[in-house]
A and B are shown apart, each in its own frame.
Chain A
Amino acid sequence: MKVSVQQEDFDLGLEVLDIQEDNRVGAVASFVGQVRDVPMTLEHYPGMTENAIKKIVEEARAQWQILDYTVVHRYGELQVNDQIVLVAIASSHRADAFAACQFIMDFLKTQAPFWKKEHHPEGDRWVNALEADDQAAERWRKLKQQRLLKP
């Protein structure tokens, strides 16, 4: 059960090892996001960031069986191909692991206070929030309204 907001890189293999020990674990789903196209600086709101992520994880735990999890999000200067974020979920079955992993990523994108500033050759540019990210989170809310997820 780990949430970490850090400057340092992470090792997917080691993080997964940490959450797959429980005998009941039959599935681990993980997602890694990385920097594409141009280098960037990631700013965050220390304190709120960790709490926001924990809240999202708690919402996921109310829906799906999560035996263990790790969420790591980096901040600071990042180069192209650097890892940014890891969400890894251990569960008994794959459906819970997949769904929880996607749910957490979708809400992390719209709720966790991180901001990306891209360093382009012609100058720096703050990344604009994407409509598609809001829609991804909205999809889960609709499933709740339709009672396909617990309220």
Chain B
Amino acid sequence: MKVKVLFFANLREQLGTGVEVVDVPDSASTVAGLRLHLMQRGGAWQEVLADMKVVRVAVNQDMAAATAPLNHGDEVAFFPPVTGG
């Protein structure tokens, strides 16, 4: 199953990528599963995505919880707490 993954702000900078298509094993088809899948890459991935207090997730441009299911073609974004306004 393929999903489009986006990173914003300091996550984008620390991971060195803003967007990529990720092949997610069917066994990991939730937000939490995708996160663990990415963390297994080690290095900055392990470090940056470990602290869920500072990582927010949106699925198809809606804020999503860790338990949210993922489907083929979904757009999943990881970012820090927002600071606009």
Contact = CB atoms under 8 A, between A and B. Distances in A.
Interface string A108-141: 1111111111000000001111100100000000
A51 interface: yes
B61 A112 contact: no
B79 interface: yes
Contacts of A105: 85
A112 B9 contact: no
B84 A116 contact: yes
A2 to B, nearest CB: 18
A85 B83 CA distance: 12
Interface extent on B, as a size class? 10 to 19
Nearest to A73: B84
Nearest to A44: B84
B81 interface: yes
Given A115-B80, A115-B84, A45 B58 contact: yes
A114 B83 contact: yes
A79 B8 CA distance: 22
A115 B79 contact: yes
Interface in A14-70: 33, 42-45, 47-48, 51-52
B10 interface: yes
Interface string B54-65: 000010011100
Contact of B85 (A43, A45, A51, A114): A114
B6 interface: yes
A84 B6 CA distance: 24
Contacts of A47: 61
A133 B84 CA distance: 11
Contact of B9 (A33, A43, A52): A43
A49 to B, nearest CB: 8
Nearest to A50: B61
Nearest to A115: B9
